[in-house]
Each structure stands twice: as C-alpha cells, then as structure tokens.
Amino acid sequence: MTVPLSDADTADRTDSASAHATDTGTAAALLAALRRDLPDGTLGTGPEATGPYATDRSGSRPAGLPLAVVHATHTEHVQTALRHAHVLRVPVVPRGAGTGLSGGASAGADSVVLDLSRMNRVLELSPEEQIAVVEPGVITADLDRAAGEFGLRYAPDPASAAISTVGGNIATNAGGLRCAKYGVTRDAVLGLDALLADGTSIRTGRRTVKGVTGYDLTGLLTGSEGTLGVITAATVRLRPVPEETVTVAAYFATFAEGAEAVSALTAARIEPAMAELLDGPVLGAVDDAQGTDLRSRGGALLLLQCDGRGAAAEADAAVRQLRGRADSVEVTEDPAEADRLLAARRLALPSLERLGRPLIEDIAVPRNQLAAAVREIDAAADRHGVRIFTFAHAADGNLHPILVLDPALPAVPDAAWRAAGDIFTAALRLGGTLTGEHGVGTLKRRWLGDELGPDQHALQRRLKAAFDPHGILNPGKAL
C-alpha cells in the first residue's frame, strides 16, 4: 500500500531532511562505540539490516540508508545509543512498527534508527486503578486485548491498532474511530518515561487521573513525532468496555446528505461512539473488489455505533433522525450482523489498493463543514485530474481523502501534490487542520507554517531546542 517517492521527490518535499552531515570518521566512531557497549544481536548494520528501516508506510524514502539499527530490548540500550549519538551529533530516528503514513519514521543516510518494537512488555495492568504501564513496542491491539480480560479497554483505536505500537501511537497522538466520544491517544496517556536527546531520563505525568504539578510534558511529548524525546514506557488509562453496542447502517443519495444527517445527530445531542461516512466512489471500489452491491444502494454509507448502558435508547434516537433523510436504515445489536455491516469500512482500503497506489491524506474540519470539505476535495480531484476516494470519521470532522495513483509511475506525480496542497489549503480555510491524526512527518512540512504562523513556528523551534539543543532527535520531521 506504499507509494514509493523518488529521492528527488523527497528532496523537493523536505527542506532539510537532516541538519547533519555525519562524516566517515564520526560514523566509524559511533559504530565502534555501539558495538562495544550494546549486547550481541542488538545492533544491525549494512544494507540488508538497515534497508527495511529506511521508510515507513508512507513510502517516503530519503537518500541513502541508515548507518545502523539498534534493536533495543531494554531502556539501557536506548540510553547507550542516545548518549553516543548525542556526543557525536548523529541523527537518531526512533521507530515503533513503522506504520506511520507521513514519513515520520523514515531514516536517511548517516542516521541511526532506534527500533523500539522489541520493547514490547506489558509491565503492569491494574484493573483496580484502571491503568496499564507498557513498553513502547507493545502492539496497540495486544494492550486492548490484555485489558479486555478484566472487562476494560484501551480506548484509542487507530485503524492500524493490529499492527501499530502504543509508542508509535503516542508519538503521533494517533486518533481512530471513536475519538469524538472517547478522545485521542493523548487523552489516554497519564504519564511517560522518556529519554532526552543526551540520554537523560525523565518521568512525566503520574498514575492519577488528575494532576497539575509542573508543565504538561506528557501532553507535549505526545504527538511530538520523536523529535523531543524517546518514550521508553507509558502509563495509560483503561476504561470499561461498554455494556452494550448497537450498530446502525444508513445509505444516502449523496455524501453531502450523509454529512447533513451527522449534523442532525449532533444537533439532537447524540454522541455516537463511531460515525464512519464512506463516499460513493469508495462503495464502488469495495463492490469491484468484493463483488458486493453497496453502490447500488446509495451514494454514501454512514456506519454508526452507539454504546454504553443507554446504547439502545441512543440508537433509537439516532434512527429517528436518520429516517426521512436516509434511503435505508438497518439496526442491529447482534455482533455478527454488526461485523457484516462494518465490512464495507474494513474492506475500503484493501479494495482501493487493488485500483492503484493509495496516498492517504488526513485533514480535519469543524464537524459542520464535512460536506463543504468533500466538495473541495472533489473540486481538487477534477482540477488536477486525480482520482480521490474519501471516507471520514464524521463525528469529529476527520476526513481521509485517498488519492489513488498509477502504480507504474516512479514517483508521486506533481498533479497529486497539487491536489493534496489544494485540499490542505481548503481544510485551513474551513477552520480545520492539515493533519487530524497521522502527523506532519516529512510529507506535510511544507504546509506547516501556513497553519502555525511564523511566530508560533519560531516558538515551537525554541521548544525543540530546549529539549534537544543539537537537533539529533528525528531531524527534518514534524516541525
């Protein structure tokens, strides 16, 4: 599902992928120090070892290959790598499972990758306190499953939960499908153990739900894309699995009508746990790939879940709003039937991958601007001759316009970048943001200043310097 970007393309998109140019002597000194101080099996060097760590799921590939990969299994390994890299001023790229979509974990020549995926122990899980303490490499779905044994869950649910790590989710402040009701990753993180660029260890936050001692470094590290510190453990909040869940599927003539229906739910003060809205082209792609007939049923599909002890009453209220607006409405409390209804959403991306190479975008707009955003997306597609398929986490205004590109092309064509640029500009104009949940990485840095403004951008760089004065942590990303 990745889109290979040529070196030239990447160079064009990132103004300084690395502020550093590690010379041969420095590289040799670093490798010697790491070989000396890390246990056997922890250090990987050479193209075979480092090649798989040069890019993430965005496919964005900087020039060259990393110097080395440190497969840390203990905090001490991370600290050793940071200390040496800091002294020698070598860029360090922290990495979870590499499932990011913005190039945040891509690693070019002269950098060292800190692979944290093997630090994957659940250190503690307390049903009494409703918290867990985990290493960064724990797969998000594994944490959720472990919590499930006690009737609890880890609420953040990025679509990548089965393959992404908690540490990676924290680095990007990952969203998901039920954020409007249950919050994003940041809302579930109570405290962090982190190493600063020079290997200094800090423990931010706490085990309690409330706490206001000092500045909120937990929140600041969350979403900082590995540029402020390296997370070595996280204390996260768990919440009860809802007692009941009711699933609703409704077809509409157009995406705009589906978006208006979601606005009507908001106006009726219904708080769905999930509200996924798929446009007609996505339904058509699923039909082509899966042999279904979704597109014939409408031009947009809204998949809704209400949960909690009041789920049935809330779903009833939702259905009252949807009737008259929707072409058809189905409701179920049966998990198997719910799975069947949700299949269209689950199969959307795999179906699009059969049509070409998807470039997954990620804007968010005020929730009453959903229909306007899709009009802008469609206009950008027409203007630049690009195929765009859109689905949205509609309850929180987060849209994923997916550009499907010709796989024969060696790089992302300029028309696609221009369409993406138009979409980001429209998102900002509508009062939104250029990334709702995937992060800036390398791919969106050229638009960052448009959202932050020059003064805030400068302030954020000063913050970065307060954490990482030599700029060794994931340079060229996020900011």
Site for a second copy in 430-449 (CB under 8 A): 431-440, 444, 448
Among 89, 203, 375, 418, binds a second copy (CB under 8 A): 203
Q: DSSP for 344-365, please give it.
A: HHHTHHHHHHTTSEEEE--EE-
Residues between 336 and 365 with contacts to a second copy, criterion CB under 8 A: 364-365
* 467 near a second copy, judged by CB under 8 A: yes
> Closest distance between a second copy and the C-beta of residue 478, in Å?
7
Among 118, 239, 375, 418, binds a second copy (CB under 8 A): 239
Residues between 376 and 435 with contacts to a second copy, criterion CB under 8 A: 393, 396-398, 431-435
Q: Is the dihedral of CA 337, 338, 343, 344 positive or negative?
A: positive
Quick one: which H or E segment has residue 292? none
- Contact predicate 357/408, CB 8 Å: no
Judged by beta carbon, residue 292 or residue 425, the one nearer a second copy is 425
> Closest distance between a second copy and the C-beta of residue 447, in Å?
9
Judged by beta carbon, residue 45 or residue 263, the one nearer a second copy is 263
* 276 near a second copy, judged by CB under 8 A: no
Q: How far is CA 476 from CA 17, 232, 415, 471, in A?
A: 4, 22, 24, 9
Residues 6+ apart with CB under 8 A from 23: none
> Closest distance between a second copy and the C-beta of residue 25, in Å?
31
Residues 6+ apart with CB under 8 A from 182: 155, 156, 239, 273
> Closest distance between a second copy and the C-beta of residue 48, in Å?
34
Judged by beta carbon, residue 407 or residue 449, the one nearer a second copy is 449
> Closest distance between a second copy and the C-beta of residue 104, in Å?
10
Question: How many residues of this chain bind a second copy (CB under 8 A)?
Answer: 95
Among 7, 12, 216, 353, binds a second copy (CB under 8 A): 216
Per DSSP (E only), the strands in 55-213 are 68-71, 92-95, 112-115, 122-126, 131-134, 152-153, 189-195, 201-205
Q: DSSP for 450-467, please give it.
A: HHH-HHHHHHHHHHHHHH
> Closest distance between a second copy and the C-beta of residue 358, in Å?
20
> Closest distance between a second copy and the C-beta of residue 405, in Å?
24
Q: How far is CA 109 from CA 7, 47, 65, in A?
A: 12, 11, 5
Among 149, 215, 291, 324, binds a second copy (CB under 8 A): 215
